[in-house]
Amino acid sequence: MADDKDQNELPQATVVRRKRTRVSVVWIIPILAAVVAVGIVVQRVLSEGPSIYIILKSAQGIEAGKTFIKYKDVDIGQVTSVELSENYGRVVVKAKIAKHAAGLMVADAKFWIVEPRISLTGISGLSTLLSGNYIGFQAGASTDAQRSFVGLDEPPPITDQQGRKFVLRAPSLGSLSVAAPVYYRQFGVGQVTGFNLAQDGRSVEITIFVNSPYDKYVTTETRFWNVSGINVSFGADGIDVHTDSIVALIAGGLAFDMPSFASPGAQVPADTVFPLYRTQAIAMKQPDPLERRFVLFFDEPVRGLSVGAPVTLLGLTAGEVTDVSLSLNPRTQTYRSRVLITFRPQTVFASLDKADASKVTMQARNRDLRLQVEERGLRGQLQTGSLLTGELYVAFNYVPNAPKVKIDWSKDPLELPVVPGGLATIEAKLASILTKIDNMPLDAIGIDVRNAISTLNATLKDADTLIKRVDTQWVPEGTKTLEVLHKAIVDADRAVVNADATFFAKDSPAPQDLRDTLQEVARAARAVRILVDYLERHPEMLIRGKPEGNP
């Protein structure tokens, strides 16, 4: 430092630049560390989604810090705490939702606990066997953000598949259940998603979901019907057994299709309401523009006549019974059965087609009806469709000499005249026969018969004594005679044998003698023949005698 004291001790300027800056480069390291750490914190904070609360009935399998909320199998959140609600009635699950899924937390989002479920229609949630339960999530359509939700007890059946929802209206639910399959040509295309009573409580509304692309087959012409269980019907048409799949057999199911006669029809929007028919046959019935309802009153019992029983016109099915009930006959103050029928003329009249049918005026139809019923004697009657089951149906036939009737045109539905049906006629005849039988002097006949039988009895007794007499008296005599005869025969037999032995014994003299005698006779015969021959040739010998020297 003290190089030169003459220079007034002024510091000498240096040629070397001060190389040390005040802040060392090494400070980059803590700054870097701070930046990274702060960056991570910022990223954490930024990626932090909202916290939501889910109110559940129970927290089965839910653990804070371990249970995830999954949407399409992606973790979108994690349960951070599980607590009881204030009144201890429910469980409040607090969950942290990932930032990217924060937009999904809207008013109608759904949460439910996913656990292994085994139902008739399948096993689901198997992955939870390994990973434990998780909270399932279904996105909602709402745009209102929400942070508090009420969890569902059951998973909503359809998550977010493409397709359309439809509503079916049915008088009763039958054996349908949620997740019951929906078939189109026996092809599983959807499922029942829910059901509830209609507002008025008179019918059931069944919500179904038809997956895309099958939902396009649901058109204005589509008919839905129930395929639940086994459909066994003993109708007047005979026995009909029908079932779809085993699943439908147990869990119930629905099917839809278009009737073959229908035009393709237009697509329908979601939530369209369709009627649900009981069976395919009913569903597929052709609608008839000429369809008309009539009422028939039968005085005879209608046991065996069920709703849906056919109504025939000259033997062809032209409608069906739609209601059977009782009503009071105002004239006689007696009950009678009131049968409501639906008449579909188009199904039997070949000349009618849809286009024509719409042109037929009601007036013309009434005129025709008057002619047929009042003039020609067309009458309805109950007939037995099956003797086995006693099913009845309503038949319309021309009844000769039917009593004249007048149709009361003021009524709606019109009442058509009836005559006692086949079974009723048979019953009436049987009744008359029974009456006749009843009128017979059965007691007198009985006495006569008894008398005759006692007489016969006496006769038989006489015959019996006679036979006994024959047995005791005549038969022993006969036996004796037979014995004598037998002895005679035996004697005769013995005589023959003796004779045989006498004549044909080997060394008896008689045969030898006999043989010799016969030889002699033969010789004599020969001599006689020679004599005869000679005499033939020399007849003169008889006069002159035998010439000498001539043989």
Residues that bind another protein (CB under 8 A): 20, 24, 26-27, 29-30, 32-34, 37, 40-41, 66, 127, 130-132
Q: What share of the chain is helix, strand, coil (3-state, %, to 5)?
A: 35, 30, 35
Closest CB 74 distance from another protein, rounded Å: 13
Q: Which is nearer to another protein, 29 or 460 (CB)?
A: 29
Q: 393: how many CB neighbours lie within 10 A of its CB?
A: 24
d(CA 21, CA 128): 63
Q: Which is nearer to another protein, 28 or 535 (CB)?
A: 28
Tell me the DSSP string of 247-291.
Answer: HHHHH--EEEE--TTS----B--TT-EEEEESSHHHHTPPP-TT-
Closest CB 223 distance from another protein, rounded Å: 46
Q: Which is nearer to another protein, 78 or 222 (CB)?
A: 78
Closest by Cα among 170, 108, 163 to 139: 108
Closest by Cα among 336, 407, 330, 329 to 367: 407
Q: Which is nearer to another protein, 1 or 355 (CB)?
A: 1
Q: Which residue type is seen at 272?
A: T
Query: Which residues are within 8 A (CB) of 229 and not within 5 positions of it... i.e. 6 or more apart?
Result: 174, 175, 243, 248, 249, 252
> What is the total residue count of the chain?
551
> CB of 219 within 8 A of CB of 258?
yes
Q: Which is nearer to another protein, 35 or 489 (CB)?
A: 35
Return the DSSP state at 98. Answer: P
Closest CB 26 distance from another protein, rounded Å: 4
Q: Which is nearer to another protein, 31 or 437 (CB)?
A: 31
Closest CB 111 distance from another protein, rounded Å: 19
Q: Which is nearer to another protein, 15 or 460 (CB)?
A: 15
Closest CB 35 distance from another protein, rounded Å: 9
Closest CB 104 distance from another protein, rounded Å: 21
Q: Which is nearer to another protein, 123 or 442 (CB)?
A: 123
Q: How distant, in Å, are the alpha carbons of 406, 441, 448 from that of 436?
A: 36, 10, 20
Closest CB 235 distance from another protein, rounded Å: 56
Closest CB 187 distance from another protein, rounded Å: 34
User: What is the b/e burial string over 228-243, where b = at least 16 CB atoms within 10 angstroms of the residue's CB?
Assistant: bbebeeebbbeeeeee
